[in-house]
Amino acid sequence: MIRIILAGISVIGGIFAVNAGKRIAGAYRLVLSAITVLYASGFLYFTLFSRTLFSGSKVNLIPFYTVFRSLRYPVQIKQIAAAIITGKWNDVFTTFIPLHTAFLNILLFIPLGYLLPEWRGKEKNCIRTVVLTCLGVSCLVEFIQLLTAMGWCDVDDLICNVSGGMLGYAIHLIMIRNKKGQKGVQS
């Protein structure tokens, strides 16, 4: 649960820091560079360096298999509600570990989808770049996990990672639209 909170704070803080830094060109690049380095460090840590070796490689090539597998088991609404009310979030997420993993994979790629258009300097029409970059990075990570037996090589991860990148790009477009709307109001 702590990972989710830290990742969420990082994503939100990074988005606001990039937007605040845009006001001053030099500061903008400095803030963008710092956020990118922090994101890349966290990305490498969570995807590769924090993993332990399995006894063998685990591979899933069936889309949404892990998600559907977790939904096969009966949902204990009373237990989940009690865990939420008492603040035992880990109990909620450990009930549906594949959903927890899917959520973290989406969350992990939101900053990449947001930062790519920032670095390219283009406000729109970057969706192809975002999708292909997220897919390429995700494939590389999954391949490394397969070769090193550090994690699962899972097609669901590819789907969630690209979805997270697209969500980050959508947030980027919303922030641009809001900023342009504010400029029009100030004029």
Confidence of residue 168 (pLDDT cuts 50, 70, 90): very high
Please state, for a pLDDT cut of 90, what percent of the chain lies above it: 19
Lowest mean pLDDT among 12-21, 44-53, 73-82: 12-21
What single-letter DSSP state applies at residue 171?
Answer: H
- This prediction has a pTM of 0.72
The CA distance from 110 to 51, in Å, is: 21
What single-letter DSSP state applies at residue 73?
Answer: S
In which element (H, E) is residue 58 found? strand 58-60
In which element (H, E) is residue 106 found? helix 97-120
The identity of residue 136, as a single letter, is: G
Stretch 114-133: mean pLDDT, rounded?
83
User: How do residues 116-125 score in pLDDT, each as one tens digit?
Assistant: 888 877 666 7
**Which of 141, 133, 136 lies closest to 113, judged by CA?**
133
Give the tokens for residue 128: 């192809």
pLDDT at 51: 73
Q: Does 107 or 77 have the greater pLDDT score?
A: 107
Residue in this structure with the two tokens 């897919």, named with its chain if needed? 135
**Three-class SS state of 72:** coil
Stretch 98-104: mean pLDDT, rounded?
76
Name residues whose C-beta falls within 8 Å of residue 50's C-beta, 6 or more positions apart in sequence. Answer: none
Confidence of residue 113 (pLDDT cuts 50, 70, 90): very high
Q: Does 153 or 169 have the greater pLDDT score?
A: 169
The CA distance from 61 to 154, in Å, is: 6
- Mean pLDDT for the chain overall: 76
Stretch 4-9: mean pLDDT, rounded?
56
What are the DSSP calls for 121-165, one per residue? Answer: T-SSS-HHHHHHHHHHHHHHHHHHHHHHTSSEEEHHHHHHHHHHH
The CA distance from 33 to 119, in Å, is: 9
The CA distance from 67 to 85, in Å, is: 25
